[in-house]
Amino acid sequence: REFDLRHFNDGNYEKAVEERNATENISKVLYPNDTSVLGKELRLKQQYFFVSASIQDILRRFLSTHEMKTQSDWKILPEKIAIQLNDTHPSIGVAEMMYQLVDVHQLPWAFAWELVVKIFAYTNHTLMPEALETWTVDLFGRLLPRHLEIIYQINHEFLHMVNHHFPGDAELLRRVSIIDEDHGRRVRMAHLAVVGSHTVNGVAALHSELLKSTLFADFDRIFPGKMTNVTNGITPRRWLNQANPGLTALIEKAIGPGFKKDLTQIKKITLLADDADFRKAFAQVKLANKQRLAAKIEAKTGVKLNVNSLFDVQIKRIHEYKRQLLNVLHVITLYNRIRRGDKDITPRTVIFGGKAAPGYWMAKHIIRLINDVATIVNEDVAVGDQLKVVFYPNYEVSAAEILFPGSDLSEQISTAGTEASGTGNMKMALNGALTIGTLDGANVEIKEEVGDENIFIFGLTTPQVAEVKANGYKPRDYYNSNSELKQVLDMIAEGYFSIDEPARYQVIVDNLLNNDQYLLLADYASYIEAQERVGKLYQHQDDWTRMSILNVANMAKFSSDRAIGDYAKNIWHVSPNIKPKQKQSKAV
């Protein structure tokens, strides 16, 4: 109701517009802080609102061009509709489509379910069980009672099928059930998505293999062949042509404009990596992009950068598994080396950017640490231009279009086995940044494309991570055996970077020494060694530029055109409808 006159006349002005305000909240701020009960409720309402509106519109458009006289007429629905569930957030769509087909359009349950499974496919974006969305049965039942009934029925029939094929395996039934009975009865939305889809894909080759061997291993047994891979892609129109007009113009001058529509043609610049004139022009474009970025950073933060320094950039969502904290440990290590007078240290500007989820306290605390470290480092006259640290404020797409072209080094340093794919790694490489990273996500495929010699790989591999954890990981052993690491952690713990509140970051150090879930201390020495290799190579600008060109030349695989083509061919089973160009009539 827009306005309640009765409440208004009673003098209760807030109550008069309460219903309207509550309704508008659904579409005011997408994905609010969901640490509170009200936040969780609003988030579920949002998901259902957008999913239901989309499905109703899809069916409306379908029915506007197809007359359904009999039940069998509905068989063409999956031929005309394909819905891709992008992570678990829209997975309520499986239950909503059943609701529309069974309750609204009066189709029999079994027939409707057959249609639903042919319509939906599910893309998984995370290997972390805790990141897979679940809802309490109480909340779900209160907001969407009919949809909970539908999910119960889907689950009942699914478990009956599993029990038929794997009789007597009660543990399997417990693990794959859509309803989690072990943690206060919760609806597992990822399980609903897997059960209700004909295909499930990961977004990098390693990620998809890990889905089958770990997270969804049971489902891979139950539905052999359902799991596949579609490596993520990025649009070169935005991330090269629009974001980096200087590089685009240089490449076009060298090989023509064809790469703008077909990124596979960019491979032609491979031979130009050995052309001195092209390398010089390429380096000039990079310098201009760094100057543009430096001007933007100075305007936003007041920090003046040395554009001839190595621009070392980590811009992505702030999360413990992405290990911005490991980057901070390296920054402090460099700071200590400079202060003690070490020679042959390459001048470096370390740029962080990204946002944390509203309720993620530790991620926000890491952001604060980065800013505190930046203050101390940037104001230390003994360091000068040898090292600068910047946290880019309010990171967004328009900022990314300046940051990616201006980057020299791309930080892709998540713990092996935690990052599904990543796309920042692709955007950076397409703009000529060299990657320092673990064998995680799409880094593995970037390494395959650019060659081992054109990327800086460090750290434990996914099997090694599992082995270290299985053997009883003791992070304190690394602390006690590495004097530089010990010095860095002691400085943080003792308040070197938080003089006004010395114990401010004790919780971070305690977490690293006593838990270190993402193995920062185990990878520290390898990371420092890789960064030393980076610094040494950057002193040889011609070699650095050659590697940079080869990275750009080998990015065609990571075009969104290829990714969409994979979805179309292997998941949606559609082919392009290319209309022949009409011949222009000659003027008389």
Residue the block writes with tokens 């894909």: 201
Residues 147 and 85 in one domain: yes
Catalytic residue among 40, 45, 125, 474: 125
The 10s digit of each residue's pLDDT in 300-309 is 999 999 999 9
- Residue 461 sits in the same domain as residue 499: yes
Q: Say whether pLDDT at 51 is over 90.
A: yes
Mean pLDDT of the 570-582 span? 86
Catalytic residue among 89, 207, 290, 316, which?
A: 316
Residue 24 domain-assigned?
A: no
Give a yes or no: residue 45 inside a domain. Answer: yes
Averaged pLDDT for residues 488-506: 98
- pLDDT at position 577: 84
Candidate list 279, 427, 504, 546, residue with the active-site label = 427
- Does one domain contain both 404 and 531? yes
DSSP letter for 211, please. I
Q: Which pLDDT band holds residue 4 (cuts at 50, 70, 90)?
A: low
DSSP string, 124-193: -----GGGS-EEEHHHHHHH-HHHHHHHHHHHHHHHHHHHHHSTT-HHHHHHH-SEESSSSSEEEHHHHH
Please state the rounded mean pLDDT for residues 445-460: 99
Q: Do residues 390 and 495 both lie within one domain?
A: yes
Return d(Cα 310, Cα 345) in angstroms, integer: 11
Residue 198 bears catalytic tag: no
Burial of 403 (0-12, 13-18, 19+ CB in 10 A): buried
Confidence band of 99 (pLDDT split at 50, 70, 90): very high
**Mean of the pLDDT values across residues 120-149?**
96
What confidence score (pLDDT) does residue 495 get? 98
pLDDT of residue 213: 97
Find the radius of gyration of the CA atoms of the chain: 27
pLDDT the model gives residue 13: 63
Separation CA 485–CA 504 (nearest Å): 19
Name the percent of the chain lying above pLDDT 70.
96
Q: Is the pLDDT of residue 588 over 50?
A: no
Give the integer Cα–Cα distance in Å for 414 and 462: 11
Q: What is the pLDDT averaged over residues 36-51?
A: 93
CA distance 354 to 305: 20
Query: Domain check: are 173 and 301 in the same one?
Result: no
d(CA 135, CA 312) in angstroms, rounded, equals 40
- What mean pLDDT is predicted for residues 364-369? 99
Q: Which one of 286, 322, 348, 365 is the catalytic residue?
A: 322
| Distance from C-alpha of 487 to C-alpha of 484, rounded to nearest angstrom | 5
Residue 4 within any structural domain of the chain = no
Q: What is the pLDDT of residues 401-418, one digit of tens each?
A: 999 999 999 999 999 999
Encode pLDDT of 308-348 as tens digits: 999 999 999 999 999 999 999 999 999 999 999 998 999 99
| Same domain, residue pair 177 and 242 | no
- Say if residue 106 is in the same domain as residue 224: yes
Is residue 332 within 8 Å of 492, Cβ to Cβ? yes
pLDDT of 42: 93
319 part of a folded domain: yes
CA distance 487 to 491: 6
What confidence category does residue 33 fall into, taking pLDDT thresholds of 50, 70 and 90? Answer: confident
User: With 80 as the cut, is the pLDDT of residue 586 above it?
Assistant: no
CATH number at residue 564: 3.40.50.2000
Mean predicted lDDT score pLDDT of the chain? 95
Whole-number pLDDT of residue 581? 73
Per DSSP bridges, beta strands 310-315 and 134-136 are unpaired
- Per-residue pLDDT, 416: 98
Lowest mean pLDDT among 10-14, 209-213, 354-358, 475-479: 10-14
Strand (E) or helix (H) holding 61:
helix 37-65
Q: Residues 258, 159: one domain?
A: no
Q: First-to-last CA distance in the chain?
A: 64
Pairing of strands 227-229, 387-392: unpaired
Q: Which of 229, 252, 268 is the last residue of a domain?
A: 229
Cα–Cα dist 279/573, whole Å: 43
pLDDT band at 75; cut points 50, 70, 90: very high
Least confident of 110-114, 126-130, 374-378, 502-506: 126-130
Give the pLDDT of residue 397: 96
Dist. CA 477–CA 576, nearest whole Å: 58
Whether the per-residue pLDDT at 1 is higher than 70: the answer is: no
User: What's the Cα-to-Cα distance from 515 to each of 267, 414, 469, 472, 502, rounded to whole Å?
Assistant: 45, 17, 11, 11, 22
Is pLDDT above 80 for 580? no
Q: How far is CA 460 from CA 159, 190, 523, 527, in A?
A: 38, 29, 7, 10
Give start and end residues of each alpha helix (H) in 397-505. 397-403, 424-430, 443-450, 462-470, 475-481, 483-493
* Residue 154 included in any domain: yes
pLDDT at residue 34 in the model? 80
- Distance, in Å, from the CA atom of 430 to the CA atom of 251, rounded to the nearest integer, reads 12
Q: CB count, 10 Å around CB of 447?
A: 17
**Count of the separate structural domains present in the chain:** 2
- Does 500 share its domain with 359? yes
Tell me, yes or no, if 427 is annotated catalytic. yes
- Domain containing 271: what range? 238-570
∠ CA 34-36-37, nearest 5°, is 100
State the Cα angle at 544 between 519 and 370, rounded to 5°: 40
If asked whether residues 305 and 326 sit together in one domain, one would say: yes
Instruction: Kindly name the residue from 105, 268, 317, 364 that is annotated as catalytic.
Output: 317
Whether residues 378 and 472 share a domain: the answer is yes
pLDDT at 8: 58
Q: Please check whether residues 196 and 255 belong to one and the same domain.
A: no
The DSSP output letter for 459 is S
Q: Has residue 23 been placed in a domain?
A: no
User: Residue 172 has what pLDDT?
Assistant: 98
Q: What is the pLDDT of residue 2?
A: 62
Average pLDDT on 281-298 reads 99
Q: Which one is catalytic: 134, 418, 423, 435?
A: 423
As a whole number of angstroms, the distance between CA 208 and CA 254 comes to 37
For residue 5, being part of any structural domain is answered with: no
| Burial (Cβ within 10 Å: 0-12, 13-18, ≥19) of residue 315 | buried
Which residue spans within 193-347 are E strands per DSSP?
200-202, 227-229, 310-315
Structure tokens at 115: 């249609």
Residue 178 has pLDDT above 50, yes or no: yes
Structure tokens, 35: 């640490």
Q: How far apart are CA 173 and CA 339, in angstroms?
A: 60
| 36 or 46, which is more confident | 46
* Boundary (domain end) residue, out of 168, 197, 229: 229
Tokens of 107: 């189709």
Q: Is residue 423 annotated as part of the catalytic site, yes or no?
A: yes
How much is the pLDDT for 6?
Answer: 74
Would residue 125 show up in a list of annotated catalytic residues for this protein? yes
Instruction: For residue 192, give the nearest of 229, 144, 247, 153 by alpha carbon.
Output: 153
Contacts for 34-38: CB closer than 8 Å, 24+ residues apart:
34/359, 35/358, 35/359, 37/139
What mean pLDDT is predicted for residues 271-288? 98
**Mean pLDDT over residues 508-516, rounded?**
99
The verdict on residue 485 lying in a domain is yes
Select from 179, 197, 229 the last residue of a domain.
229
